[in-house]
Amino acid sequence: MNNKGVGAVFCLIAAILMSARYVTAALFMSSISTWSSDMFRASLEYIGPALPIAAIAALIVGVIFLAVGIIQDRKGS
């Protein structure tokens, strides 16, 4: 797999990790009868910073791989 493919996979991983954060917060709130934005924000804080940090790291790695792949393609042409 070339660098652009690896970069695209890392960007996909970043998107999945970021969406997992919100799905998890919604699952935490599934047993609550009344929803509010404050409660949802509290459930996001309960999840912690691990998922956003991992998503940002995967996105940075993905963008770097994409950039390297594009630069290599331009040098080869």
- Position 1 confidence tier, pLDDT thresholds 50, 70, 90: confident
* pLDDT (0 to 100) of residue 34: 82
Q: For the segment 34-57, what is each residue's pLDDT rounded down to a tens digit?
A: 888 888 888 889 888 999 999 999
* pLDDT (0 to 100) of residue 77: 63
Q: 60 to each of 3, 8, 24, 41, how far by Cα in Å? A: 14, 11, 23, 26
Entry pTM: 0.85
* pLDDT (0 to 100) of residue 15: 97
Q: For the segment 18-34, what is each residue's pLDDT rounded down to a tens digit?
A: 999 999 998 988 888 88
